[in-house]
Structure formats: C-alpha cells, structure tokens
C-alpha cells in the first residue's frame, strides 16, 4: 500500500483582524534610535504647560527607555503564549547607524517595535510595504529571516515586495510643514499631505482587512498611487480595495488608531475622526455597527514626551478572536465599553511602548489566524481593479 504523504503545513493565513489568532510577530525596542527629521516627518517634543519644547533628541534611545518598553513587550508575549499562540520576534538591527542611498541620506534609522507598519498578511500572502519615511527604508531587514522561513516552509505562501520608492526630495512636499492653518485645512480636505502622488507609497498599517474587502487609508504615509498599486495587485484575486478618508484628521497616519474592526458587523471608531460620509454608507448598508471609543485616559499633554502618536493609541487594540481583545491596562473606560459589547477583555501595561511608535496592534503582525476569505459585504457589487 502506498503511503499517503501528509499535507504541507499552512503557516501563512490571515484574512481579517479578528479570527482566532494562531501565530504572530511581536516587535522589539532593542537598538532603537530617535526618529530623525526628514521630509516626511518632523518629530517634536511635547511641550508641557508653561514650558518651551526643547529640541528633539537624536541618536540611540537611552537604555532605560528601551528596557522599559521591552519589559512591556515581553508582558504581551507572555500573555499571548499563555493563550497557546506562537510568538516570533524580529532580529536585532543597529538603528542608530546613518543611511545613504543614491537618492537620499538620513542621520539615523528608527526601531523594530512596530512590524504592523512594515508587513501585512492577506490570505496566504505576505506583502512588504514600500514605507514612506527614509529612516524606515530598510526596516524590513529585521523580519527578513522570518519571512523567508515562512515562504520556505509553507509551499502555498506568497511573498510580495512592493516597489521601493526613491524617497528623493521630489517625492515630498517640503512646504507642507510650513503651511498655515488655512492652507492645511484646504489641503487636508483634498487629501494632499507631505508625500506627492507620483510614486507608489504606502505603509502596511494604513490597511485594514475585512475578508474580501480591504480598506486603505489615504494619508501622510499612503498616497493614491500606493492605493492603486494595492488595487491592481489584489483585485484580480477577487478582493475589493476601498480607499477611505477621515476628513477631520489633520495628520492622518495609520488606520489602527482611527477605525478598528473588532468582529463581523462591528467597528471601533474614533469620535474625533469620523469616516467620510459617503464611505460610511458601505457599513450602514451592510448593517454594521460603528461604535465610538471613549475618550482616552491620557490627555495629549500626558503622553510620553517623545511620543509622536496621539492619545488615540488607547484604541489600538489587538483581537485574539471575535470575542477576545487585548487592551492597554490603564484604559478602563475602553475595557468597560468592550465588556458591554460582549468581549473578554485582557490587559497589559503598554505605555512605555508608546514613544516607540504605537500600541498593541502596531507592535504586532499576525501571520496566521483560523478561517478563510469571507464576504462580509455581500450587497456590494464587484468592481474591476483600475488597469486590470
């Protein structure tokens, strides 16, 4: 009798933000540097009341700051492993080194705390984002060994590297940072920010997955060319790519502090950044519930001095299943809301990670979840990808 060979392992599979989690990558604060000033980013120290803001630091972050963040990241790892989830970590990389290419140079790089910004899993495919900032151009190298391992061990896994932009001066609007409030208001309602529309540019964290439907935020870190590239790449596979906009957000960057799908039919939303009215119809017509997050416990003035994200990191939660969510430990109003919606709420302290660019969703990249590609919006008509 001929022996039947075992099915190859499925290591790469994630179609949405909520199916039961099986394997994930958690970031690291090791060897992190302060983000440098560059055309796509102008970091600032948060001014305290009555005090002028000092210059933003440069070079490696202090060891004690790194150790506090790593301690909290290890707490998340321990929680995930206690739930039977496989956790992987990035390789070390010295981010304080300067970077020089034929089209740009930058004094230092950044960190490997937020894999969500760099990589996304859509079905059996891993996509490396272009990235939008010079200091993050080679951040994918921290995860290259892991990605290559998934691709080698899972014969059905796809691995796609999006076209790298030049990040030359011509890719940016350097005048963006000097615009008056009236200029900024006019530009933000036409969704023109610090990156131009010529090259393909997107960060993976501007994407939210809802089965067959993929949301992509147009922002300071993702332009229209980046959204077109994603549509041309994904829509021939039967997916639907939807550009989304949040007109009241003056500095939009990454969707997971603004619009967070929690389970089929439910999205946690930011009350200060509502979804564009026309785009919200997709959810209303599909009988989805959009629930505003409560005000965060920390005010903007209370956030870490060197954190470049807003207080809305509070709603940057990680779903372990359609009924289980991990939240930052101190955000009790959010815990109460999620509990009232039927979730098991797990908590870990995570505020020391904030100044490294994100919270629980940002600091993770889900590689494998149970489940397949479902259509949660059957009322939508199929549309062809631009140029397909």
Alpha-carbon distance of 93 to 139, in angstroms, equals 9
| End-to-end Cα spacing for the chain | 48
Percent of the chain with pLDDT over 90: 86
Alpha-carbon distance of 99 to 91, in angstroms, equals 19
Query: Residue 202, SS3?
Result: coil
Predicted local confidence at residue 7, as pLDDT = 67
Predicted local confidence at residue 186, as pLDDT = 72
Residue 333 has pLDDT above 50, yes or no: yes
Instruction: Give burial (CB, 10 Å; 0-12/13-18/19+) of 193.
Output: buried
Tell me: the pLDDT tens digits for 362-381? 999 999 999 999 999 999 96
Tell me: the pLDDT tens digits for 9-67? 799 999 999 999 999 999 999 999 999 999 999 999 987 777 787 899 999 999 999 99
Q: What share of the chain is helix, strand, coil (3-state, %, to 5)?
A: 30, 20, 50
Predicted local confidence at residue 388, as pLDDT = 31
Tell me: the pLDDT tens digits for 279-325? 999 999 999 999 999 999 998 888 998 999 999 999 999 999 999 99
In the block, which residue shows the tokens 């026309």? Answer: 278
Q: What is the mean pLDDT of residues 222-235?
A: 98
Residue 8 has pLDDT above 90, yes or no: no
Which positions are catalytic? Answer: 203, 254, 362
Q: What is the mean pLDDT of residues 127-147?
A: 98
Q: What is the mean pLDDT of residues 234-256?
A: 95
Predicted local confidence at residue 1, as pLDDT = 45
Alpha-carbon distance of 268 to 340, in angstroms, equals 13
Instruction: Give burial (CB, 10 Å; 0-12/13-18/19+) of 388.
Output: exposed
Could you tell me how far CA 252 lies from the centroid of its own chain? 12
H/E run at residue 156: none
Predicted local confidence at residue 9, as pLDDT = 78
Could you tell me how far CA 316 lies from the centroid of its own chain? 9
Predicted local confidence at residue 33, as pLDDT = 98
Angle at 137 between CA 318 and CA 222, to 5 degrees: 60
Predicted local confidence at residue 151, as pLDDT = 98
Alpha-carbon distance of 289 to 292, in angstroms, equals 10
- At residue 385 the predicted structure's pLDDT band, cuts being 50, 70 and 90, is very low
Angle at 270 between CA 274 and CA 308, to 5 degrees: 115
Could you tell me how far CA 359 lies from the centroid of its own chain? 10
Predicted local confidence at residue 383, as pLDDT = 45
Q: Does domain 21-42+59-369 sit in CATH 1.10.3720.10?
A: no
Asked if residue 259 lies in contact with residue 269, where contact means CB atoms within 8 angstroms, the answer is yes
- At residue 177 the predicted structure's pLDDT band, cuts being 50, 70 and 90, is confident
Which structure tokens are listed for 212? 């067959």
Which of 28, 26, 205 has the alpha carbon at shortest distance from 129? 205
Predicted local confidence at residue 257, as pLDDT = 97
Asked if residue 129 lies in contact with residue 120, where contact means CB atoms within 8 angstroms, the answer is yes
Average confidence score pLDDT of the chain = 93
Rounded to a whole number of angstroms, the CA Rg of the chain reads: 20
Which of 80, 69, 87 has the alpha carbon at shortest distance from 28? 69
């Amino acid at each position: 009798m001929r022996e039947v060979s075992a099915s190859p392992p499925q290591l790469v599979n994630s179609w949405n933000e909520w199916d039961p989690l099986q394997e994930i990558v958690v970031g690291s604060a090791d060897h992190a540097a302060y983000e440098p000033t560059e055309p796509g980013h102008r970091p600032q120290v948060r001014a305290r009341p009555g005090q002028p803001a000092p210059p933003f630091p440069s070079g490696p972050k202090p060891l004690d700051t790194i150790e506090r963040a790593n301690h909290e990241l290890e707490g998340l790892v321990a929680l995930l492993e206690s739930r039977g989830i496989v956790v992987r970590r990035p390789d070390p990389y010295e981010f304080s080194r300067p970077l020089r290419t034929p089209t740009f140079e930058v004094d230092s790089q950044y960190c490997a705390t937020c894999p969500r910004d760099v990589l996304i899993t859509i079905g059996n495919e891993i996509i490396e984002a272009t990235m939008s900032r010079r200091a993050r151009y080679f951040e994918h190298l921290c995860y290259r060994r892991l990605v290559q391992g998934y691709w080698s061990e899972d014969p059905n896994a796809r691995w796609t590297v999006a076209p790298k932009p030049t990040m030359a001066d011509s890719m940016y609007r350097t005048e963006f940072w000097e615009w008056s409030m009236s200029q900024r208001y006019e530009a933000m309602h036409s969704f023109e920010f610090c990156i131009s529309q010529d090259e393909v540019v997107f960060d993976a964290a501007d994407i939210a997955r809802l089965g067959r439907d993929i949301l992509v935020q147009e922002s300071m870190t993702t332009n229209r060319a980046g959204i077109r590239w994603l549509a041309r790449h994904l829509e021939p596979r039967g997916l639907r790519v939807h550009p989304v906009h949040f007109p009241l957000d003056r500095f939009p960057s990454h969707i997971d502090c603004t619009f967070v799908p929690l389970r089929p039919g439910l999205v946690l939303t930011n009350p200060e950044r509502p979804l564009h009215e026309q785009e919200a119809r997709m959810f209303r017509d599909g009988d989805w519930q959009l629930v505003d997050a409560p005000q965060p416990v920390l005010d903007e003035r209370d956030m870490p001095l060197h954190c470049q994200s807003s207080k809305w990191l509070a709603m940057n939660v990680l779903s372990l299943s359609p009924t289980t969510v991990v939240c930052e430990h101190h955000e009790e109003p959010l815990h109460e809301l999620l509990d009232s919606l039927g979730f098991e709420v797990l908590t870990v302290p995570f505020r020391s990670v904030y100044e490294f660019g994100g919270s629980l969703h940002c600091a993770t990249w889900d590689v494998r979840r149970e489940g397949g590609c479902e259509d949660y919006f059957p009322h939508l008509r199929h549309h062809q990808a631009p140029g397909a």
